[in-house]
Chains A and B, each alone.
Chain A
Amino acid sequence: MKYFIKVLWAEAVKQHRNYFNNWMIYISLFVWPLLSFLSAYYSYSSFNVDGTLISYINGNNILVFLMLGYMAMSFFRSVVQSAWNFSRERQSGTLEYIYLSTANRLAVLMGNALSSVFESSIVMLIFGLLIVFSNRASINVNTISLLVVIFIFIIMALLWGVFLNACFLYSRDTDFLFTILEEPMEIFSGVKVPIVIFPAWAKIISFIFPLTYALEAIRQVMLNGASLQAVSTILFVCLGIIMVLLFATLITIVVVEKHMRKTGNVVLF
């Protein structure tokens, strides 16, 4: 376990030094989600949202509703980007040395995701917390539920990142995953529009993304004051997803390494 943590920490530190070496990077990662958030908020402002199908959305908390969506999205988006970035290690040849070492592959991928989850989202997180705090009168938080949900949310985001990292390592031709997962996740996970009002086909797509469940749980406990019991179904689904992601990642890591040893593609780019 000590070795696992050493590798995880080293990878997180390396990613920090390698990619986040200028404060402008933090700002640039914040600007696009901010613009997208503002665009969504002013779109909603044109309509009267009171009395919608969603019990916990009203004219007072729509700003927080959207902010929670974009905060959660920034965590999940950051790991997709980090997975894409990690596949560049193949080009730089450093991936070969990682595979040459005895380091636990899961620890390496987790360290990469860990660094990305927090560093890519930190400015958005601070901004979001300020928005939520300044609109505290419009929210109804169940603190215990929130702590549990945040813990599960972070684990989910990390594992989603680790799983994608493993997938991106399969070959140099997996970049298409970035296109598939980046924008559709924002559209179908209910970041801007609650999935309840989606047509059936769109709901089916939304169920693919772990963010859908994590986001619903967060909104329930922050806007609706939902107890753990009230969100237990979603939480069980989230725990199920965590288990599936973990097993899928472990299997993918083994398959990827076997594939690389067979095809020699660890050095192809």
Chain B
Amino acid sequence: MIEVKNLKKTYDVKRRDGLFKSHRETIEAVKDISMRIDAGQIVGLLGINGAGKTTTIKMLTTLIEPTSGTYSFDGMDAIVHPAEVKKQINMIAGGERMIYWRLSAYENLWYYGQLYGIDNSVLKQRIENLLKMVGLQDKANLPVETFSKGMKQRLQIARGLINDPKYIFLDEPTIGLDAVVTRELHDEIKSLAKVKEKGILLTSHYLSEVEELCDYIYLVNNGELIVEGTKKDLTDFVFLRNQYVFSTKGMDKNVYNGLKRHVRNVDNDAEILFENGKAMITSNVELSTILAGFAIQESLTIVELHKMEPSLEQAMIKLSKDMKKEAEREILYKSLVG
């Protein structure tokens, strides 16, 4: 089990004030993060750009030393023994860098395998298995520079498994990939955790990715942990409820009222607003077929029916508002009690 408590990382950086002037400044990349990763579990670290995800991952991989906090790796102090940690972890980052483009897929894996001192016969077998797993067995001897973005990313996954790590850190592994390749990678990530019992930390700023893959989620912003929990715990205020925009030809107040009744029969908590001739509906229930059914029942022609994907930014705004309200309530309560 990996467990970090109150992890903090500050950098002392030089800032230019002009051509010859400069001053030093302390930047807090990570202010306070505590988290836990168990074997066979996919843990999500969610946050917008600059939230501190990558710095956290670099600290967990021992590439960066925390300024303060504790890091326990299977009961061992990982800050004191980074070399021991390195034997049992690996990292897979998104993007096309970090592999040698002029080398073939096989040569890349061979090189990284040698860096871990893996016995040659074991390594040969492992490379063949990994290439097969990521579907690159037929391209093993081609230079990486001839690969597509998706193929390079699949090679990155094979490289990240070359030392058969117990824990894997995935830093935005699907960034820039198309839907088909993303789907394949998601299946591979799930299989690594559920079949091969690897502990996985996944950073991402795609809500849907974290929602699909992760057993437990940490949401960070400005280097701090904002909220944590299972997908179910966070559904309301992280993943948000389903949002629909619905309009029909000749949609007036009567149609709107009928729609309201129709939706409320299915979900009494649904929020429905009528704006600019369109109904805006927020619900915990999947309503696409219900809304289409309403149009058929009332012989209305649908002009617009679409489900809006919740974004991380929306979730962050909602969370900030919720937290602000909570803080205001606390101040009010204290002033009344005090």
In the bound complex, CA of A100 to CA of B86 (Å): 6
Nearest CB to that of A260 among chain B residues?
B63
With an 8 A cutoff between CB atoms, is A134 at the interface?
A: no
Contact in complex: A94, B98 (CB < 8 Å): yes
> Which residues of B are in contact with A by a Cβ distance under 8 Å?
9, 11, 29, 55, 58, 61-65, 82-83, 86-87, 89-91, 93, 95, 97-100, 102-103, 107, 110-112, 114-117, 159, 163
A80-116 at interface with B (beta carbon < 8 Å) = 92-94, 96-103, 108
Task: Give the interface segment out of A10-18, A49-57, A149-157, A163-171.
Answer: A10-18
Contact in complex: B100, A267 (CB < 8 Å): no
Find chain A residues with CB under 8 A from B82 CB: 261
Nearest CB to that of B99 among chain A residues?
A94
Contact in complex: A261, B111 (CB < 8 Å): no
Nearest CB to that of A111 among chain B residues?
B114
With an 8 A cutoff between CB atoms, is A178 at the interface?
A: no
With an 8 A cutoff between CB atoms, is A45 at the interface?
A: no
Contact in complex: A94, B110 (CB < 8 Å): no
In the bound complex, CA of A264 to CA of B29 (Å): 11
Q: Report which residue of B29, B62, B86, B117 has the largest number of chain A beta carbons within 10 angstroms of its beta carbon.
A: B117
Nearest CB to that of B29 among chain A residues?
A264
Chain A: minimal CB distance from B159 (Å): 8
Q: List 8 A-B contacts (CB under 8 A).
A: A18-B102, A21-B102, A92-B98, A92-B100, A93-B97, A101-B86, A102-B116, A264-B11
Majority secondary structure of chain B interface residues (helix, strand, loop or mixed): mixed
In the bound complex, CA of A14 to CA of B102 (Å): 10
Find chain B residues with CB under 8 A from A262 CB: 64-65
In the bound complex, CA of A18 to CA of B95 (Å): 20
Identify B115's interface contact among A10, A21, A267, CB under 8 A: A10
> Which residues of A are in contact with B by a Cβ distance under 8 Å?
2-3, 6-7, 9-11, 13-14, 17-18, 21, 92-94, 96-103, 108, 260-264, 266-267
Contact in complex: B99, A261 (CB < 8 Å): no
Chain A: minimal CB distance from B209 (Å): 22
Find chain A residues with CB under 8 A from B62 CB: 261
Contact in complex: A3, B117 (CB < 8 Å): yes
Identify B114's interface contact among A7, A93, A100, A266, CB under 8 A: A7
Nearest CB to that of A98 among chain B residues?
B115
Identify B103's interface contact among A14, A264, A267, CB under 8 A: A14
In the bound complex, CA of A17 to CA of B145 (Å): 13
Chain A: minimal CB distance from B83 (Å): 6
Contact in complex: B103, A18 (CB < 8 Å): yes
Chain B: minimal CB distance from A262 (Å): 6
Nearest CB to that of A95 among chain B residues?
B98
The answer to whether A7 and B97 touch (CB under 8 A), given A17-B103, A96-B63, is no
Contact in complex: A10, B98 (CB < 8 Å): no
Chain A: minimal CB distance from B122 (Å): 12
Nearest CB to that of B88 among chain A residues?
A102
The answer to whether A103 and B116 touch (CB under 8 A), given A93-B98, A94-B99, A267-B58, is yes
Contact in complex: A266, B63 (CB < 8 Å): yes
Contact in complex: B98, A102 (CB < 8 Å): no
Contact in complex: A101, B111 (CB < 8 Å): no
Chain A: minimal CB distance from B296 (Å): 55
Find chain A residues with CB under 8 A from B87 CB: 102
